[in-house]
Amino acid sequence: MTSFLLSFRNWRKRFYSRLPGESSLSPDSLSGFLTTGQQLFLKRGRMKVIKTSLTLLLGLLLILPAYTGALAGETQQQLTSESAIETIKKRGKLMVGMSTFVPWAMRNKQGELIGFEIDVAKKVAEDMSVDIEFVPTQWSGIIPALIAGKFDVIIGGMSVTPQRNLTISFTAPYAHSGLGIAANKKLAGDFAWPEGFNRSDVIFVCRRGVTPCTDAVAKIWPKAKVRQFDDDTMAFQEVVNGNAHATLSSHPKPVSFTYRYPDALYMPTTENLSRGDEAFGIRKGDPDALNFFSNWIMINTSNGWLEKRHHYWFKTMDWADQVDQQ
């Protein structure tokens, strides 16, 4: 449309340039040489040019809304056809990116995936009347894998952060985890809380890619060092083995590991160090998927289903006998 307007303006400019100029051949400047009829003829000629230009401009204004509407319709159709929701419906299967993280997602004694995230994802697929496929992915690479189309959505206890939101879109939060601490008794048992951990020789371990952990350490204990591991269990094991002073993780992991290793671990505080907002992660530019998943969360928050499943996995240990290790 912009190119059409430019072409029209150029045509009009060239047209006028070919007409007699006001300084040389205007009716007024030639009044001494032209009869009244001839002067009137020139004036009528210029009036016709003006009328023609106005007619073309009016026609352009009339077709512009129709053109804009058609363009908007094509854009909407393209977005709908490319939406993850349409892809899931055609495929008949929801593909979910996740990473094992107790009690969000883990393997039971039979090797099957269980956990809060697994319950949530299965319920989403059930409500969509499609099958489900879990795509286990290292946490540090889960966002690039989503962008690359390896799966449709991240349902993996991912906290909403501004940095992540620059790359992917987030739904409304469906869970609010608390960050707890577990420390080594021998290395940190006599530390004052919390200032005793703010030393340059203190080592915290975090699961790689878990921003709340690294952010909390940087904010509360800026002098301490941070080491990162790909697996959350490895981070806890470093503390159990005495290779690090403490680790931060979402509940109930600090509680379960402290119960499991009472001689090696303790919890300096039972209070949450931070409150997280976990949401589904989806690719940017997909309003249909954002709308569907956010509405699903709203409905299952209102009816209490999400709260019941969260309570089971985070407030009780009733599931502990299903797994070999917590």
pLDDT: which is higher, 184 or 178: 184
Q: Supply the DSSP symbol for 152.
A: S
CA atoms within 13 A on the CB side of 29: 7
pLDDT interval class at 30 (50, 70, 90):
very low
Q: Mind listing the pLDDT tens digit for each residue in 281-296?
A: 999 999 999 999 999 9
How confident is the model at residue 318, as a pLDDT?
Answer: 87
How confident is the model at residue 256, as a pLDDT?
Answer: 82
Is there a shared CATH topology between the 84-176+277-319 domain and the 179-266 domain? yes
The phi and psi torsions of 157 (rounded to 5 degrees) equal 65, 35
Q: Mind listing the pLDDT tens digit for each residue in 51-89?
A: 666 666 666 666 655 555 545 444 444 444 579 999 999
Cα 148 to Cα 142: distance, rounded to the nearest angstrom: 10
Q: What is the pTM of this model?
A: 0.59
What string of DSSP letters covers 203-221?
A: EEEEETT-HHHHHHHHHH-
- Which residue, among 316, 257, 309, has the nearest Cα to 117 in the 3D structure? 309
Report residue 69 CA to chain centroid gap: 29
Cα 217 to Cα 205: distance, rounded to the nearest angstrom: 10
Cα 109 to Cα 189: distance, rounded to the nearest angstrom: 34
- Segment 156-163 mean pLDDT: 91
Report residue 26 CA to chain centroid gap: 66
- Segment 168-184 mean pLDDT: 93
The ranges assigned to domains in the chain are 2-82, 84-176+277-319, 179-266
Q: Which residues pair with 153 in a beta bridge?
A: 96
Superfamily of domain 179-266: Periplasmic binding protein-like II (3.40.190.10)
In this structure, the chain runs to a length of 326
Q: Are 181 and 248 in contact (CB under 8 A)?
A: yes
How confident is the model at residue 232, as a pLDDT?
Answer: 84
Q: Check if CATH label 3.40.190.10 holds for domain 84-176+277-319.
A: yes
pLDDT: which is higher, 252 or 200: 200
